[in-house]
Structure 1
Amino acid sequence: MNKKLDISASIVLYKEDLEELTKTIECFLNTPITKKLFLIDNTENKEFENIFHQKDIEYLAIGKNIGFGAGHNTILSKISNLSYHHLVLNPDVSFKPSVIPNLIAKLERHEIVSMIAPKVLFPNGDHQYSCRRYPRVSELLIRRFTFLKPLFNSKINKGIYKDKDLQASFFADYIAGCFHLYNTKDLIKLNGFDERYFLYMEDVDICKKIERLDKQKLYYPKEEITHVLKQGSSKNLNLFFRHAISVFKYFLKWGFN
């Protein structure tokens, strides 16, 4: 029987910037542990086929855009006996070779932790505030209508934990899904992401599901990554409506409190 890999990872692809994607893939492949990367191509014309040929990569063509969560879920059966840890990774992230091994070491020290995530920076070095309290309807409305933000700045700041020391690790309500490092066995128990969310809110939802396992999500700022962050729903009307639909589904599922 083959020994399990230290880590597997998955990236869902759709209309990606090839330069950013290449950098992300190189960062993962430079990690000095046993690994495998699944590239899940949600484009209709297999846009990313025959581009990446490294031995630790497996390419999967879906043939249609099934969404973020469903895309990552396609490899659950493949990783259940393949790896000890699994990384849900965005295609616009970069990090040092030591980041994943150090996160794994921290994750393995805490039985209660199912998922760990690092501090996230913008390319210019600014803090991205990737860990947040569970959203309320009022807060999401304030964020959407920018003219309201100056009137409710304290509510927004509390939502992104500006009232805490973000240089210290803690159990966050939820952590944005650009870089989620899981114990593989726990991700399998969760059945991955809820596929009712096509895009947006699936990262909040899975953090709620982790608590149903009596486990936690650890924000660990001693390790850092850089994330481009497209914020597509604030610029694209179609993505805005997809975001709104996901928000509605989230509150129907978990309640409006």
Structure 2
Amino acid sequence: MVTASIVLYKNDENVLLQAINSFLNSKTNDIIFLYLIDNSPTDELKRIISHPGVEYIFNPSNPGFGAAHNIAIDRAMKKGSQYHLVLNPDVYFDGNVIEGLLCYMNKNLDVGNVLPKVFYPDGSIQYLAKLLPTPYDWIGRRFNPFKKMVEKRNQTFELKISGYDKIMDAPYLSGCFMFLRIDTLRKVGLFDDKIFMYGEETDLCRRIILAGFRTVFYPKEVIYHHFEKGSHKSWHLTKIGIQSAIYYFNKWGWFFDSERKIINNRTLKSFGK
């Protein structure tokens, strides 16, 4: 069984339906089931779909992105799911993606999380496989006015040096599409619900690696992501992002983080760096 969850919050219905139908129309022999966790103030989005393979859960207390997905993952575990997809409401893909990822995961039992190649709707690539972040990557880079300096760092931090054309182990994979092995989650735990939004996927990827599993970028399958970069448009969301970064670095280490150094150096070494 493959389950998935989408966390809702006052979403554009047309974009949301693209995400829902992408998963429900997957061409696979495995049973699929989708959870919609609605953190919106009202349950207006409840009417968006009625389907036997969908469970809508209204959660207006809005505990955050990771905490809401945890509700679905906990139910998926009890349902006997083998894989769970954490899916953003602004992502869409064709019917073969899930089956392609299932084949890869079934053949590679040491992989705990996989991310396909991600494009914008216009076909340009998104660089969403990264190194574990330093404080500069998450805070300083955001406010650095010297764009050439930022881009130079991005070549390494966003692993652009890889060419994004081959399967690779990347320690920090985007939370827009996390294809997770349930057995891995049973060992490492779910999202840290103390992180309201932004950075929860980084924390989970790191725990997956430290437990001995791999986090893999898999470009043989592709998805599309509208990717609005809300934190770059709203000071409220920027504040949430900074708070999440502070929590993450307090948890794992700021400038002195030996595990980060080991993991990142191992990744760069695979590219001859």
**TM-score, length of structure 2 as denominator length:** 0.89
Greater share of residues in helix: 2
| 8 Å contact kept, 1:27–1:97 | yes
SS at the partner of 1:120? strand
Deviations 1:126-176 (A, max 9, x none): 110010011111233443125122134322211011111310001101101
1:147-186 matches, within 5 Å, as: 147-186=145-184
1:144 equivalenced with 2:139 (yes/no): no
Give the secondary structure class of the aligned counterpart of 1:181: strand
Q: In 2, are the aligned partners of 1:114 and 1:217 still within 8 Å (CA)?
A: yes
What letter corresponds to residue 48 of structure 1 in structure 2?
Answer: L
Give the alignment partner of residue 45 of structure 1, picking from 42, 57, 78.
42
Q: Which residue, 66, 73, 78 being the options, matches 2:70?
A: 73
Q: Which residue of 2 aligns with 1:25?
A: 20
Helix, strand or coil for the counterpart of 1:238? helix
Aligned residue in 1 for 2:263: none
Q: Is the 8 A contact 1:143 1:149 kept in 2?
A: no
CA contact (8 A) 1:120 1:128 kept: yes
Determine which of 71, 78, 91 is the counterpart of 2:89.
91
User: Residue 55 of structure 1 aligns to a residue in which SS?
Assistant: coil
The equivalent position to 1:209 in structure 2, one of 207, 210, 215, is: 207
Counterpart AA for 1:9: A
- Mapped partners of 1:205, 1:211: distance in 2: 10
1:142, 1:152 within 8 Å by CA — same for their partners in 2?
no
TM-score, normalised on structure 1?
0.94
Higher mean C-alpha deviation, range 232-241 or range 183-192: 183-192
Runs of 4 or more off by more than 3 Å in structure 1? Answer: none
> What secondary structure does 2:126 align onto?
coil
Identity score, percent: 35
Per-residue displacement from partner, 1:99-152 (whole Å, max 9, x unpaired)? 010011001111211111100001111110010011111233443125122134
Output the CA distance in 2 between the equivalents of 1:248 and 1:147: 22
Aligned to 1:16: 11
Number of the residue aligned with 1:242: 240
For structure 1, the 5+ residue unaligned runs are: none
Matched residue, 1:193: 191
CA contact (8 A) 1:38 1:59 kept: yes
**Greater displacement, 113-122 / 143-152:** 143-152
Contact 2:73 2:84 in 1 (8 A): no
What are the within-5 Å matches in structure 2 for residues 92-111 of structure 1? 92-111=90-109
RMSD between superposed Cα atoms in Å:
1.3
Deviations 1:176-200 (A, max 9, x none): 1000001122123332100011000
- Provide the C-alpha distance between the structure 2 equivalents of 1:79 and 1:104, rounded to a whole number of angstroms: 17
Counterpart amino acid of 2:52? K
Tell me, in whole angstroms, the C-alpha distance in 1 between the residues paired with 2:60 and 2:138: 33
CA distance in 2, matches of 1:180, 1:68: 13
Query: Match of 2:47, SS?
Result: coil
Task: Tell me what 1:61 maps to.
Answer: 58
